[in-house]
Amino acid sequence: MPPPALNQQSNMRLRALSAGLREQGICILHQDRHYHFDLAENLPESWPQDILGLAESAAFPPDIASTYRANTEQARRSGAEQNFHFDIGEGLRRRVFEVRLQPDVDGVLGIIADVTESRAREQAMSALLREVSHRSKNLLAIVQSVAMQTAHHSSTIKGFLDKFRGRLHALSSTQDLVTESNWRGTYLHTLITAQLTRVGSNRLAQVRITGENPLLGPNASLHIGLAIHELGANAVLHGALADNAPGHVWVDATLVDHSGQEADLVIEWQEAGIESGDALRQPHFGTLVLERIVPLSVGGSAQFLIEPDSVRYRLVVPADQFEI
C-alpha cells in the first residue's frame, strides 16, 4: 500500500491536472475494448455527468454518437489517431468541440477540446479581413479616379502634383478618423474641423459650424471629407479664409423629413463677404467633385452656386449614409 505522503502528492497532481484541463476547456474520455467509457474527466457541465460504463449511444445525441463510434472503430483498426469535430446546442447557442482519438492497448483515449471561442475569433477575423479588403479596394478606386480627373484638369505637372497631393492627404486624414472609430465612420463636425485645419487655414475663427452632428458612415465620410477639402482649399486661395479676407464661412447641418420617410441630412456651406474672382468661376475638378462625384457617391444631390459676393454649396445626404 502506497505511503500516505505519496497518495497526497498524487492527489495534488491530479487536482492540478484537472484544474488545467478545466482552464483550457479540455475533457478526457477513455473507452475500453467493448466501447464503454471507463474514464471521464472534466466533462462540460451541459453533458451527462454519469457516463462511466456507458457506450456513445447513451452519452451523446444519435448523430454525434454514430460519428464518435465510426472514428473509434477506425482508430482501433488502423492504429492511427483520428480527428473530427461536432457541435452541441447549449441554450440559444451551439458549442463546437474538436476530438482527437488515440488508440492504446486497453481501448481508445479521447481528448475533446471546446473550441467555440477560438472558432468565433477566427470567423470574426475572417470577416474583418474581408471588410478591410473591400474598403481598401473602394479607397483605391477613389484614389485612381481622383488622380485621373486631377490630371485631366491640370495644365502643368507641378499643378497636378500640388492638387493631387492635397486631395490625397484629405482622403488620408478622413481614413484615419474612420479607422480610429473601428470603421464605424466619423462625426460631421469632427470631419469639417479636421479638413479645414489640414488645408492650412489660420482663420478658423472665421468658421462657424452649427446644426446636427451625425455619425457619417465610412463611404459618406470619405466623400464628404473630399468635398469639405475642395471648399476649404478654394476658400483659402480665393475666398473667405484667405489672408486679410473680410468674409466668413458658415457650415450648417439639418435633418429634412420627407412625408414620414427617414430624414435626409442637408449640409450647407455658406461663404459670404468676399469678391469671387475669375479663378473660382472657371470649371475645374473641384467643381466636378462638388456637383457630381460626391452626391453620386452618397446617393444624394448637390447644388454649387458662385455669386459675386458669396459661395454656396448644398449637399443632400440620404438616411442610409449616417446615424443620429
CATH number, domain of 27, equals 3.30.450.20
Residue ending a domain, among 75, 94, 114, is 114
Q: For residue 231, tell me if it sits in a domain.
A: yes
pLDDT of 56 over the 60 cut: yes
> Residues 87-116: what's their mean pLDDT?
88
100 and 179 both lie in a single domain: no
Please report whether residue 119 resides in a domain. no
263 lies in the same domain as 206: yes
Does position 140 have pLDDT exceeding 80, yes or no? no
C-alpha cell at 229: 477639402
168 with 312, same domain: the answer is: yes
CA–CA dist 301, 1 (Å, integer): 90
User: Looking at the domain assignment, is residue 123 inside a domain?
Assistant: no
Which range of residues forms the domain containing residue 277?
142-323
- For the ranges 118-127, 143-152, 181-190, the maximum mean pLDDT occurs at 181-190
Q: Are residues 175 and 279 in the same domain?
A: yes
Q: Are residues 197 and 89 in the same domain?
A: no
Three-state secondary structure call for residue 124: helix
Weakest mean pLDDT among 2-16, 26-40, 94-108: 2-16
Of 31, 40, 27, 28, nearest to 76 (Cα)?
A: 31
> Is residue 120, in this structure, part of any structural domain at all?
no
What pLDDT score was predicted for residue 109? Answer: 93
98: phi then psi, degrees, rounded to nearest 5:
-105, 135
* pLDDT, mean of residues 199-222: 86
Position 129 in a domain: no
Among the three residues 77, 96, 114, which one is the final residue of a domain in this structure?
Answer: 114
Least reliable range by pLDDT among 84-88, 273-277, 279-283, 304-308: 279-283
> Are residues 147 and 109 part of one domain?
no
| Alpha-carbon dihedral sign for residues 90, 18, 99, 30 | negative
In this structure, the answer to whether residues 170 and 307 fall within a common structural domain is: yes
Q: Quote the CA–CA distance of 314 and 324 in Å, as a whole number.
A: 20
pLDDT at 70 over 90: yes
So what's the pLDDT on residue 20?
A: 56
Using the predicted structure, report yes or no on whether residue 120 has a pLDDT greater than 80. Answer: yes
**Domains: count for the chain:** 2
pLDDT at 102 over 90: yes
Does 267 lie in the same domain as 190?
yes
Taking alpha carbons only, the member of 313, 323, 268, 265 closest to residue 289 is 313
Tell me the HSE value of 34 on the side-chain side, using a 13 A CA sphere.
Answer: 5
Radius of gyration of the chain (CA): 33
Domain end among 64, 94, 114: 114
- What is the reported pLDDT for 10? 55
pLDDT attached to residue 13: 60
What's the pLDDT band for 270 if we cut at 50, 70, 90?
Answer: very high
Residue 212: which of 263, 272, 270 has the closest Cα?
263
Q: Is residue 135 part of a domain?
A: no
- Is residue 301 located within the same domain as residue 203? yes
Single-letter residue type at 232? G
Does the pLDDT at position 49 exceed 90?
no
pLDDT at 283 over 50: no
Instruction: Answer whether 214's CB lies under 8 Å from 266's CB.
Output: no
Residue 297's CB: how many other CB atoms inside 10 A? 20
Same domain, 147 and 102: no
126 lies in some domain = no
**What is the arithmetic mean of pLDDT over 218-238?**
89
Provide the CATH number for the domain around residue 287: 3.30.565.10
Stretch 218-233: mean pLDDT, rounded?
91
> Are residues 160 and 296 located together in one domain of the fold?
yes
CB atoms closer than 10 angstroms to residue 229: 24
How far is the C-alpha of 94 from the C-alpha of 115, rounded, in Å? Answer: 11
Q: Is 303's pLDDT higher than 50? A: yes
What is the band of 4 on the pLDDT scale with cuts at 50, 70, 90? Answer: low
Same domain (yes/no): 258, 296: yes
pLDDT per residue over 176-192, tens digit each?
888 888 778 899 999 99
What pLDDT was estimated at residue 81?
94
For residue 20, being part of any structural domain is answered with yes
